[in-house]
Every structure is written in C-alpha cells, then in structure tokens.
Amino acid sequence: MAVKAAVKSEAVASPRPLLAPWLEIAQDYVALLKPRIILLLVVTEMSAMIVAARGWPSPGVLIGSLIGGAMAAGGAGAVNCWFDRDIDRLMPRTRRRAIAAGRITPAAGLAFGIGVGLAGVGLIAVTSNRLAASLALAGGLVYVFVYTIWLKRSTAQNIVIGGAAGAFPPLVGWAAVTGSLSPLAWALFAIVFFWTPPHFWALALLLRGQYSAAKVPMLPVVVGEARTRRSILFYSILMLVISALPVVWLGPVYAVACIALGAVFLWLAGRASRRRDGASAMALFHYSLAYLALLFVAAAVAAAVPL
C-alpha cells in the first residue's frame, strides 16, 4: 500500500517541476504589487464612484477605473519594494519579499513596477478622463517619492504626510465618474488621510523592534510606546470627527454606520492607549481595516439607496 501511495503521489506531482517555477515567479511578481493593500484601496475607490454617481457608474468607467487604479497603486508598491530592498532584508516581516530575497532582480522589479503603474494610469485615462488619471499618477508619485524615498527614513511623521498616497483612490473614483472634485470627495479623502496614522501606528507598535533594527524612524522607535499610544488616540478622535462630515450629504444611513463603527474604533483606540500590550494594538490594527471598508460601503449604500 505504501508503495502504491508513493507511486500515485509521484504520478500526480510529476508535472509540477515544469510548472512550479513559472508559477512561483508569477506569484512573486504579483506579490510585489501588494494585493492585500490594493484590495482596500479598490473598496474606497469603488465606493466613492458609487457615491459620485448616486448609483452604479457605467460598466466601462467602473471596470476601467478600478483595474487601472489597482495597477497604478500596485506599480507604486512594486517600486517601494525595489527602493526598500535593503531595509526589507533586515525585517522578518519583509525579508521574504522577492526583490529583498533575490528572487527578482532590482532592475526587473523596478521596470515591472513602473510599467504596471503607467499602464494603469493609461487605462484610467482611456476609460474615464485625464483628471482621474492624473490623480492616480499623483497618488503613486506621492507614495514613491514623498513617502518611500523622502520621509520614511528621515522623520517619525513619515506616515502622517506620506500616508496621503493611500487617500487618493476616492478622489480617482470620484473624478472618473464626474470629471471634477467636490467637497464630499475631499471629505472622503480626509477620512482615509486621518485613518492612516492610527492604523499604521498600531502595527508599528507590534513591529517596533524590527523598525529599530532597520533604523526606520517610525513613531514608536523615536518617541516611545507611551507617546505613540496617545498619538493613536488623538488621531482616532480626529478621524472620527472628520468621518462625520459626509453625513451632510449622505444622511441617516451613513450617520448610523458612522456612529456604530466609530464607537468601536474609539473604544479600541482608548483601550490601546491605556494598555501596554500587543493584543490591544493588534485588535485595533485588524479592526481598522474592517472599519474603513465598512464605512465606505455604508457611504455607497447611503448614496445609492437614499431615504
């Protein structure tokens, strides 16, 4: 029986050596785009498009803008992996990234990132308009040049300023539908902008030792854990105030979601500010991901199904 099982296993596995290397290479290139981050960006972009259209936008604009936005953001992520390959090797969380680990050459990774990013911007320009494409390009440039190259290694405020890159997708989505920007579009931008520090600092608390070893001046490394936790609470309160602004345009459905989701966020941020454990920071980090996605979905629902 053991011999038969071994033979059967070998027969099933025999094609893998021919396919696995190519599959692994493809997976490495996809991973350079940071798909888990892109998913959340796509949610905010699509929700902003639905809000702008007060319903579903035309399929061509929707699909082209979402795919193009994902490519533009992913290309910037790949360039980030190229530039940060030296510090990525020093951190257990990132040292297995393909460029840092040597599975993809720096030149190939950089070319891939630039090519995918520009192709995404071009797709948005073709399927929607130049304003949306310009905003997608601006978001990528902020992430690469402002955050990655300039601020990340030079100041503890890196994520506060450079984190603006992650707030561009709602602007891209809005502009793709309307060809312009409105106060509500900027309010959605501001929500993501002020959400970024408490979200990222919660993670930075857990990775403080890794950032310190890599000499990256994230806030917990520079000012310590206690002050970082207070800063998380401060920015959480600020974010919750900003998140209430769309109620003016979106009404009671959004208001209920904003209050309910925000109350949980504030409770977790308050708990993280009082405690000195990793569990409270981890809980806030994970909830912050769900919070942003659900808040933007609530905005889309409120706009598409007004009461």
| Domain assignment of residue 75, yes or no | yes
| Domain assignment of residue 7, yes or no | no
Q: What residues have CB less than 8 Å from 111, skipping those under 6 apart?
A: none
* C-alpha–C-alpha distance, residues 201 and 219, integer Å: 7
Which pLDDT belongs to residue 306?
A: 67
| Domain assignment of residue 10, yes or no | no
| Domain assignment of residue 119, yes or no | yes
| Domain assignment of residue 223, yes or no | yes
Number of compact structural domains in the chain: 1
Q: Which residues of the chain have pLDDT under 50?
A: 1-18
| Domain assignment of residue 130, yes or no | yes
| Domain assignment of residue 276, yes or no | yes
Which pLDDT belongs to residue 213?
A: 94
Residues 142, 165 contacting (CB under 8 angstroms): yes
Which pLDDT belongs to residue 156?
A: 94
| Domain assignment of residue 262, yes or no | yes
Domain that holds residue 36: 26-304
CB-count burial class (<10 Å; 0-12, 13-18, 19+) for 75 = buried
* C-alpha–C-alpha distance, residues 42 and 62, integer Å: 11
CATH for 179: 1.10.600
pTM exceeding the 0.95 threshold for the entire prediction: no
Q: How many CB atoms lie within 10 A of CB 98?
A: 23
